[in-house]
Amino acid sequence: MLIGNLNRFAVDIEPLEPSWERRYLPEFTAWARFSLWINGENICRNLLDGSNSARDGINVPLAPIADWFVRSWTFLEFEERPKCFPLDTSLDETIVRWGEAPAPAGINEDDWLEAREHWWSRHFLSAGADGAYLPNLSLIRGDERLFMEWAPVAFDRPEVPRFLSKSGHHVVAWAEGKNVLSQFVSYVAQCLRDSELGDIYTWVCQDDPLNEAMPTFSETLQAYTGMALENLRKRTNACSDAELRKKLGLIDDTDPGSSVITQVLRDLPPGFSDTLWDQVLHLENETRSVTGFAEELRSLVHEAIRPASGPEASGYLAAQGLREHLGINGQPIGVIEEQLKKSG
């Protein structure tokens, strides 16, 4: 069963009836030879030690993988970058550098490492392996695109798969990536229901678990900004979600990135000063009076980031395109109010 397009992004599933021992309920059904095709390449193609014959996929229980996508989906959809660490052009290198970097002032070592672990567990497929041998694939959203990267992985045990595709990256439209993954999760849910295992995960009863997942306003806002709800309310003196939405300038309940404030908050370090917060509020008040600014430049930015292979590169290319368009390439922005009036 092929879901998606082999030349862009697809999941290929060949159902299996395992003869080996199965340990617990999620392993009792939905076993398959599982392949991931990205940019025309099967990144699950592998060799076993001592074998000269390549296998086109890996034999795994699909339920834990599908469950990882469901549990991580709010963050895959809204958490576009780490809060505590700068995103590198490579997600895998970001995780490595994060593990080697000392905790910054004001953050203890345990919280620093826990933040790294949380980020890894929400964006790296191997976090959903549950004992299976999966490629080292990471996924992150950047605006309306899904960035995928796979990197080398070495398993300690003998007689385990050795993936033939060492590394690579590819970008697809977010809507296309979401469609492939939602169909995959729906297939697994149906397999579990057919096997009368509908109660092992809460999402199994749903026909389309990813699209039917309805995170709350606070969940999406925390994922997007990287800030706890209590901290957001403290900063804004908001007593309810409705008041918080208003004070953050959010137009759409389902889009936490629809205001200048939340976009800036996403990129600010933890524990930023009250002075900086006052500047953010001032910027929001200035931009509310600008008409047509975002729509005018949206197509320009989308064209500028087309060659980007990752979210970090997208940011650089977008900034470069905007600076060239506004005539400030290589020059400081200067007075923000004057630049906004000129652009609006």
Question: What would the pLDDT profile of 14-33 be if each residue is shown by its tens digit?
Answer: 998 876 666 666 666 788 99
CA quadruple 24, 26, 31, 36: dihedral positive or negative? Answer: negative
- The amino acid that residue 317 corresponds to is L
Q: Residue 48's closest CA among 37, 56, 40?
A: 56
pLDDT at 290: 46
Query: What CA–CA distance (Å, rounded) separates 228 from 224?
Result: 10
Q: Please check whether residue 193 is in contact with residue 9, taking contact to mean a CB–CB distance below 8 angstroms.
A: no
Can you give 3-68 as a three-state secondary structure string? EEECCCEEEEEEECCCCCCCCCHHHCCCEEEEEEEECCEECCCEEECCCCCCECCEEEEHHHHHHH
- In this model, does residue 271 exceed pLDDT 50? yes
According to the model, what pLDDT value does residue 51 have? Answer: 77
User: Does residue 92 or residue 131 have the better pLDDT?
Assistant: 92
The residue ranking higher by pLDDT, 329 or 165, is 165
**164: helix, strand or coil:** coil
Stretch 108-113: mean pLDDT: 88
d(CA 314, CA 143): 10
Q: Which residues contact 255 (CB under 8 A, 6 or more apart)?
A: none
- pLDDT of 136-150, one tens digit each? 999 999 888 999 999
pTM over 0.85: no
